[in-house]
Each structure stands twice: as structure tokens, then as C-alpha cells.
Amino acid sequence: TTERVRIDPQQALEMRQPLVDQGVRLAIDDFGSGYSSFRYLVDLPVHFLKIEGRLVRQARTATKAQAVIRSIRYVARELQLITLAEGIEDAATADRMRELGVDLGQGRYFAPPVLDGPSSERP
């Protein structure tokens, strides 16, 4: 998927700068997996860290996953970034993310996925 494609931070910054200049806020998706890198936190003007869904689900019971999420949350606070947990499917996972200090959550627990825009209009 395109989320796993490795990019040069300088190239990414140049491509996104016009959007940033217009007030668009950027997120690093699936943080904690794949090619996400702490270097991006220094090199790119990001506002959100989206914590990868598998890690979020593991944190329901796995203390190591909980420690990783606490660490991500600590770094995010130090850099004044907002954390968002992906893939929250139930109340227990939502509660765990609150306990770990994650700012926001997304997933079927809150609402099913929906399309928005012209392609989703129904007759």
C-alpha cells in the first residue's frame, strides 16, 4: 500500500508545503510500524501521530505494547503533537487508550467507516 512506501522527508516536505501554508495539518500514519521514523518528527511539519491499529489492539492486554504506546505518547507530548489510536473496535480498547493517555481514537467502536464526498452520493 502507499502507506508503506518509503519517502525522502525533504521531498515530502516540498510536496506538502503549499498545503501546510494553507493551514492543512499533517499526520504520520501507522506510527509504530513499517517505515515510520522518528526522523520524520524532526524533518516534517506534522501535527498528529496515528498509532498503528495492530499495536493498539495488542495494548489491550500486552504490557510491552502498552509501554510502546506510553513512549509514543511521551514523545508526542514533548513535541506538542496529538496522538490518535487507529483500529479501536471495542470499549475495552478505547478505555485502555484513555488510560495510556492517547488523545484521540478512531475505529468501528465509534462509527463504521463511511465515504464522504461526490463519489459516495446515493441516488
3 assigned to active site? no
How deeply is 86 buried, as exposed, middle or buried, from its count of CB atoms within 10 A (0-12, 13-18, 19+)?
buried
Q: Please, are residues 71 and 49 in contact by the beta-carbon 8 Å criterion?
A: no
Per the residue annotation, which of 86, 89, 99, 121 is the catalytic one? 86
Query: Which of helix, strand or coil describes residue 9?
Result: helix
Any idea which residues carry the catalytic annotation? 86
